[in-house]
Amino acid sequence: MSAPQTHRLTVGTVSRDLPLMEVAAGLRIAVLNMLGDTELVEAAATLLAGRLARHDYDTLVTPEAKSIPLAHALSVRTGHPYVVLRKTWKPYMGEDALRATTHSITTGSEQTLYLDAKDRHLVEGRRVVLVDDVISTGSTLAGMEEVMALARASVIARAAVCTEGDDPGDAIALAHLPLFPGQ
């Protein structure tokens, strides 16, 4: 019997068959890409907004790029602004843009997260919720947390559509994605 090529994810009443991708020898993950999937983004944002309602926070913070639609939809529902940590520094971000480097399981390489100087006032000394599409190894979260520490922000919660792997930690999530053996 051959290994499955997709994994079914259900968020509320919305289901998607996620393709499996090999990220290391003997290891595949279910790839969630919500870009352009308005139905899934809206369902996830509605459910996450409900789970975040009991938390007292000022700002949502998300990494570029796949979780931006989720952060936007959450912002609309909660009335809290959101900030995007960019993965490429641009001159308009200012020389004093805050930054932290992490290792991404999805890209398999180092990535740097940048907080645009114009957005610092939205997180500096504030209570923030970190938002991502999938929390797996925690490396992106660690980079986000490092940038927030530089901005003297307090991370009061971590939220995602899915956790993945063996230790989901304390993240607020709507589903858990298992790891799959490679082919």
Which domains are seen in the chain, by residue range?
A: 34-176 (3.40.50.2020)
The residue with greater pLDDT, 182 or 98, is 98
Q: Report pLDDT for 65.
A: 86
User: Which residues, other chains included, contact 111 with Cβ-Cβ below 8 Å and sequence gap of 6+?
Assistant: 87, 101, 102, 103, 104, 140, 143
Collapsed DSSP state (helix, strand, coil) of residue 118: helix
| pLDDT tens sequence across 92-150 | 888 888 999 886 655 567 889 999 999 999 999 999 999 999 998 888 899 999 999 99
Q: Which residues of 138-157 are buried (b: 16+ CB within 10 A; e: fewer)?
A: bbbbebbbbbbeebebebeb
Tokens standing for residue 83: 């900030």
What does pLDDT average to over the chain?
A: 92
What predicted TM-score, i.e. pTM, was given to this entire model? Answer: 0.91
Tokens standing for residue 108: 């398999």
Q: What burial class does residue 112 get, using C-beta atoms within 10 Å of its C-beta: 0-12 exposed, 13-18 middle, 19+ buried?
A: middle
| pLDDT tens sequence across 54-85 | 999 999 999 998 999 999 999 999 999 999 99
Q: Report pLDDT for 131.
A: 98
pLDDT band of 18, cuts 50, 70, 90: very high
Provide, rounded to the nearest whole percent, the portion of the chain with pLDDT above 90. 77
Q: Which residues of 114-134 are buried (b: 16+ CB within 10 A; e: fewer)?
A: bbbeebbebbeebbbbbbbbb
